[in-house]
Chain A
């Protein structure tokens, strides 16, 4: 009897271990999602008409996830051939997971990737050429610059979903104190008028308020990097050209000096970390906030905040800004019929992306951005034209590594440890070293 018990127990143990291992593939960390539980095949309601289920990986959490899930649920309710299971993966390790999936040829059927990450994923040779998949998609419905962004050497590697760019949020109440209006901000098309605005705002803010709110401290200073990027590209400068760094040319150095000047004049205080940059503007303590369009949904949730949003004016030359895109990519290891289903799904989401616009992003289809429903959304249509002002990152396999290095060195100069020229020269040296 005892022997049987021993064998039964060990069998149970082994089964638990094996079951746990197989669940590992689809289960992932859900970041704040309420219903994103990724157990296998529990979304399929009608097993008669559905052929199967596509697994859809996203790095979205919070509001982004809720909006995307809303659209996926709507898609599933149309009883498609293949239903879709959306997975909310932890942002911190998202691309490590994607790389792992592509290299091992085992993972999602369709996934979200940034347009700027495509160059890193293409060498895995696991990104399906979209044009080779059977579909009846009308590509004319898509914004041209977005389509160009996902095409490398005449191969289309992804389907654009949105553009998200750096824009300017402003607090109407604080502007009023200085007798300024949104019009004044919009027409600040050179450095002089911009400086006049900053000068006018400084005396009317209290000790715990800010004129400019840009994240410039702590674990994640990417927003400061984007602000540098905006100023540099407005002046005709750049970041990378192929594997050569050009950020330490004159426009780049001047752009960094401008940021430091804002600090020294008291417009931009040190010590604002990434999280604080949202909290400070949201609680009404900043006149102007440079951040991404995705903050719109967050700021809207404070009814006491009287704010507006517009594309960043041409303070340093031409009206250009930083931006990136979310796109849908389909791995090559997915078999033919499922690839078609995935592509159909991506296009369907794009047609219904007015919901996605609520998250703040600018949808990729012109049919959506020109629709009445989209234009009636508060704030979003104010910055829709930013899509054509974005200077996309150059296509580079080591781009995100370069961004990391650049952000750290720009921050070091901002803190005052080294000069702008020194920082950007070092950036050139270090980035080119990892480009080999």
Chain B
């Protein structure tokens, strides 16, 4: 190599380092370091920052006989199972609508995406106001049109409470998936549709045999991202139902938060966190195996 090439390659590294350094500093300090420190904390017990002591695997053993752990885990898995298909399907539906040629398509796209811009406190406030009995919007509307004669107690029943959480989440996040899917839709060559309609295919057939297969790569990614996001559920139940009634809508992250930041048992909270991470990694691995493209 000539000295000029060596020099310019060194210069690029220098520049790269300079630009990356601030980020790496913060990232190392606030993300990488806690990652390792948390793992070490999971082998300790005692109150955060005051008196921790090493207890080996005691926390992990405790976790396996902790009914609250199983309850929270089941709640999280339940939410992943019901919310993922809903959010992906509705995301796809709105993507198709927004991408079509009808007059209001652009308005639909903007209206569907707008909630995603709002913060969690805002959306949960809005939906609590809609669902709350007596003075909330939904019950009053349902009563006025005669569909119900008594207040529906949206937060006093496990299934209803999950409904409020799921509806709020749907409204909030389908916009994000929609945008990704619109990009995927626009990648599909128009000639495929033209050719198929010449051959007599109807809209449904076009959707099933052209659109869906072409979107499969994007869809796989969207589903995985949604699964991961659903595993991390915290804000909606925390602000809307408090994890209630009882513990019926308490997901894993809330249990971790209460253990670590309410009870100050940082060791056990770390244990629970690593268990959640472990489960998510397993799920992602299974998912990747199931959706692997057959090598041509």
Residue positions of A touching B, CB distance < 8 A: 3, 6-7, 10, 13-14, 17, 96, 99, 103-104, 123-124, 208, 217-221, 269-273, 275-276, 279-280, 398, 400-401, 404, 408-409, 411-412, 415, 417, 434
- Roughly how many angstroms separate A401 CA and B257 CA in the complex, as a whole number? 12
Residues of B within 8 A of A412 (CB): 244-246
B184 interfacial by beta-carbon distance below 8 Å: no
Evaluate contact between A221 and B133: CB separation under 8 angstroms.
no
Q: A400-B262, A411-B245, A412-B246 known; A103 and B49 CB under 8 Å?
A: yes
Looking at the assembled complex, report how far the CB atom of B143 sits from the nearest CB atom of chain A, in whole angstroms. 10
- Which B residues, 118 to 169, have Cβ-Cβ distances below 8 Å to chain A? 128, 132-136, 151, 153-157
**Closest Cβ neighbor of A218 among chain B residues:** B155
Tell me whether chain A's interface is mostly helix, strand or loop, or mixed. Answer: helix
**10 contacts across the A-B interface (CB closer than 8 A):** A99-B48, A103-B48, A123-B47, A124-B50, A217-B133, A218-B240, A219-B240, A271-B133, A276-B135, A404-B258
Tell me whether chain B's interface is mostly helix, strand or loop, or mixed. Answer: loop
B173 interfacial by beta-carbon distance below 8 Å: no
Evaluate contact between A270 and B264: CB separation under 8 angstroms.
no
Evaluate contact between B246 and A408: CB separation under 8 angstroms.
yes
Looking at the assembled complex, report how far the CB atom of B248 sits from the nearest CB atom of chain A, in whole angstroms. 9
Residues of B within 8 A of A7 (CB): 18
B71 interfacial by beta-carbon distance below 8 Å: no
- Roughly how many angstroms separate A412 CA and B26 CA in the complex, as a whole number? 44
Evaluate contact between A273 and B132: CB separation under 8 angstroms.
yes
- Roughly how many angstroms separate A354 CA and B246 CA in the complex, as a whole number? 41
B15 interfacial by beta-carbon distance below 8 Å: yes
How many positions in chain B have a CB within 8 Å of any CB in the partner chain? 40
- Roughly how many angstroms separate A103 CA and B265 CA in the complex, as a whole number? 14
- Roughly how many angstroms separate A273 CA and B264 CA in the complex, as a whole number? 28
Evaluate contact between A10 and B18: CB separation under 8 angstroms.
yes
| A-contact bits for B230-253, CB 8 A (1 contact / 0 none) | 000000001111111111000000
Residues of A within 8 A of B245 (CB): 411-412, 415, 417
**Closest Cβ neighbor of B239 among chain A residues:** A219
B107 interfacial by beta-carbon distance below 8 Å: no
**Closest Cβ neighbor of A16 among chain B residues:** B22
Evaluate contact between B21 and A14: CB separation under 8 angstroms.
yes
B53 interfacial by beta-carbon distance below 8 Å: no
| A-contact bits for B41-57, CB 8 A (1 contact / 0 none) | 00000011110000000
Q: A123-B50, A271-B132 known; A96 and B261 CB under 8 Å?
A: yes
Residues of B within 8 A of A434 (CB): 263, 265
Evaluate contact between A411 and B134: CB separation under 8 angstroms.
no
Evaluate contact between B18 and A398: CB separation under 8 angstroms.
no
Evaluate contact between B134 and A276: CB separation under 8 angstroms.
yes
New A-B contacts (9) at CB < 8 Å, excluding given A10-B19, A208-B134? A6-B15, A96-B261, A99-B48, A123-B47, A269-B134, A273-B155, A408-B247, A411-B245, A412-B244
